[in-house]
């Protein structure tokens, strides 16, 4: 069942010189989760942050840390993100080689396990792992950078996965990531998403003029 919309600002677009303060500000502005984009310069063409940074800022707020791993391999780094106190750890199905094992391992450590799909990956690729995932993350841009345009063709995939989740009867969050603004947020929600990641739409322009609070509110539809 589609749950009330939650907003997960992506700190990729935050001010890294004052990351802790920016995380505190979005939490106070009503963000539901903190979305952390981890990139390795191998699975995606960009390098961002790792577990040391997550650990350093984790105590700034109590809201969940939603860690999106755009790395390959994944398994050797899961322990470090668990130690950094991530709440949700999401791996890409394309990162290989054994996504089922990766998800089982994350869950065995008491964390929520998510699977993410690149735009070219079909919904059917996750039908045999829906029984163990807590979250499905549909990429609506090619992963690697903030500020890209929403790929509308992914809406059909979001609807398809919404039906698969409802049919499974399991409590699985359906998250959408990339190019989310007040307009695309509406489209994603009506297709069945219940968690929206937003980098540019929250952090772009900073915290002045209504600030993070207004920008987060506008995404709720
Ligand atoms: C892309 C990342 C996204 C991205 C979202 O690889 O996974 O989380 O930062 O940024 P916007 O909202 O600017 O598209
Ligand atoms: Zn992300």
User: How far is the centre of ligand 2, averaged over its atoms, from the C-alpha of 131 (Å)?
Assistant: 23
Secondary element (H or E) of residue 151 = none
- The reported pLDDT for the residue numbered 209 is 75
Does the pLDDT at position 53 exceed 90? yes
Backbone angles phi, psi at 121, to 5 degrees: -90, 125
Residue ranges of domains in the chain, CATH in brackets: 6-220 (3.20.20.70)
d(CA 23, CA 82): 19
Instruction: Output phi, psi for 7, to 5 deg.
Output: -110, 130
Could you tell me what percent of the chain has a pLDDT over 90? 98
Ligand 1 first shell, C-beta below 6 A: 10, 12-13, 35, 37, 68, 141, 143-144, 146-148, 177-180, 197-201
On whether the pTM is more than 0.75, the answer is yes
Considering every ligand atom, which ligand is closest to the CA of 146? Answer: 1
Catalytic residue numbers read 37, 177
Beta bridge partners of 37: 68
Please say whether the beta carbons of 15 and 42 come within 8 A.
Answer: no
pLDDT band at 21 (very low <50, low <70, confident <90, very high): very high
Mutate which of 31, 44, 46, 148 for ligand 1? The one with the most ligand atoms within 8 Å of its CB, which is: 148
Report helix, strand or coil for 97.
coil
Give percent above pLDDT 70 in the chain: 100
Q: pLDDT tens digit string along 63-114?
A: 999 999 999 999 999 999 999 999 999 999 999 999 999 999 999 999 999 9
* CA 132 to ligand 1 centroid distance, Å: 25
Question: Is pLDDT at 41 greater than 80 in this prediction?
Answer: yes
């Amino acid at each position: 069942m589609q749950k009330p919309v939650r907003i997960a600002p992506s700190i990729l677009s935050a001010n890294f010189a004052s990351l802790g303060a920016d995380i505190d500000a979005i939490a106070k502005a009503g963000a539901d989760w903190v979305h952390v984009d981890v990139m390795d310069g191998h699975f995606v063409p960009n390098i961002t942050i790792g577990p040391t940074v997550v650990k350093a800022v984790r105590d700034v707020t109590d809201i969940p840390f939603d860690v999106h791993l755009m790395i390959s391999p994944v398994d050797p780094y899961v322990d470090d993100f668990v130690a950094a106190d991530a709440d949700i750890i999401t791996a890409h199905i394309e990162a290989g080689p054994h996504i089922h094992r990766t998800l089982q391992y994350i869950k065995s450590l008491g964390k929520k396990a998510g699977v993410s799909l690149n735009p070219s990956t079909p919904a059917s690729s996750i039908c045999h792992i829906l029984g163990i995932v807590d979250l499905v993350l549909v990429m609506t841009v090619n992963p690697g950078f903030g500020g890209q345009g929403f790929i509308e063709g992914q809406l059909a995939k979001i609807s398809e996965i919404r039906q698969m989740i409802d049919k499974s009867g399991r409590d699985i969050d359906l998250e959408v990531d990339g190019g989310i603004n007040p307009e695309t947020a509406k489209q994603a929600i009506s297709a069945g998403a219940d968690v929206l990641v937003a980098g540019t739409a929250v952090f772009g322009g900073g915290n002045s003029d209504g600030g993070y609070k207004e920008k987060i509110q506008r995404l709720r539809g």
